[in-house]
Amino acid sequence: MADPVTTDSPVTASGEGAPPIPGEVAELIRARAGERLAPLVHGLFRSSLVLDPVHGADGGGAAGRLGGLPALPEGTAWPEYADRPMQLLAELDCAALAAAFGAAGPDTGGWPLPAEGLLLFFHDEWLADFTGRGCRVLHVPAGAPPRPAPAAERGTPAVPAVPVGAARALSAPSYQDRELERLFPDDFLVALDLAQDLAEQLPRPAVRVLGWCDTDTGRPEGHRPLLQIDSGVLDADWGECVNVSFWITHDDLAAGRFDRVRQGFEIA
């Protein structure tokens, strides 16, 4: 018989080199899922980065920022959708993110995004494309000056810049994720109750890189979240939209391809 899991005995999650699962969370999983399935639930956990605003005028210690103007290198066009310039939602420093992702030590699994340069996340602020094509993610070298916004008559208002720091955090699937649902084919309510328990133990951040989806946004088939942003963290008017997310396939993430990223959004 397996030794009991106690709250001071963290369990290692096998999913994507995720950091140890707190003992109280592991005990909760075992109570819901049972001894046989608990390790499979552990294996679903993913590592992610939580981005929180950095206080202070200079934004010291930031891993990037939300909003502002993009550091687009010369010769790189400002992304457009439906003949209107897109809005920059985030400019993230890959080296700073990679350092935060590996801060728990050498046994943390590989950083799946580029190790250098910047990731720029653009979207169509009108949220007019329900196929998820109204976004663009660019990986560019660092060091270019901020690009002025396009002419006002064609432009989209810039989101005021918010410097953010990054910290590594566990991310668990929800009842809407098939990977969890498939573990309980005979009783979906077990997956539903377990997902609710995990959501209470691992609070949803306002901004997350990688991990699992934190919202009721529809999941594009074969994709996983790349970046999720709640509207409340930005000074932006998205109407009834409360969350914008960027999605990427497993294969594109592994290959560092960002030209097929999809957008999702949640309406209140």
pLDDT tens track for 211-220: 999 988 888 8
Q: Is residue 3 part of a domain?
A: no
Q: Is residue 194 part of a domain?
A: yes
Its pTM stands at 0.89
Q: Which 3 state secondary structure label does DSSP give 77? A: coil
Own/partner pairs for 182-186, CB < 8 Å, 24+ apart? 183/33, 183/37, 183/40, 183/41, 184/33, 184/37
Tens-binned pLDDT, residue by residue, of the chain (268 aa): 333 333 344 554 545 556 688 899 999 999 999 999 999 999 999 999 999 999 765 555 799 999 999 999 999 999 999 888 999 999 999 999 999 998 544 434 588 999 999 999 999 988 888 888 899 999 999 999 999 888 765 667 788 999 999 999 999 999 899 999 999 998 889 999 999 999 999 989 999 999 999 988 888 889 999 999 998 999 888 888 899 999 999 999 999 999 999 999 888 8
Looking at residue 56, what is its pLDDT?
62
Looking at residue 6, what is its pLDDT?
35
Looking at residue 152, what is its pLDDT?
61
Q: Is residue 1 part of a domain?
A: no
Q: Is residue 5 part of a domain?
A: no
CA angle (108, 111, 112) in 5-degree steps = 135
pLDDT digits (tens, 9 = 90+) for 219-253: 888 999 999 999 899 988 888 889 999 999 999 99
Q: Is residue 205 part of a domain?
A: yes
b/e per residue, 246-257, with b = 16+ CB within 10 A?
Answer: bbbbeebbeeee
Number of domains forming the structure of the chain: 1
Q: Is residue 7 part of a domain?
A: no
| 47 contacts 80 by C-beta, under 8 angstroms | no
| 100 contacts 207 by C-beta, under 8 angstroms | no
Q: Is residue 4 part of a domain?
A: no
Q: Using CA atoms, how far apart are residues 87 and 144, in angstroms rounded to an integer?
A: 18
Q: Is residue 9 part of a domain?
A: no
Looking at residue 7, what is its pLDDT?
35
Residue-range definition of the domain harbouring residue 87: 15-267
Number of H helices, E strands in the chain: 5, 12
Q: What is the CATH number of the domain that holds 96?
A: 2.30.320.10
Q: Torsion-angle region of residue 152: left (phi > 0), alpha (psi -120 to 50) or beta?
A: alpha
| 43 contacts 170 by C-beta, under 8 angstroms | no
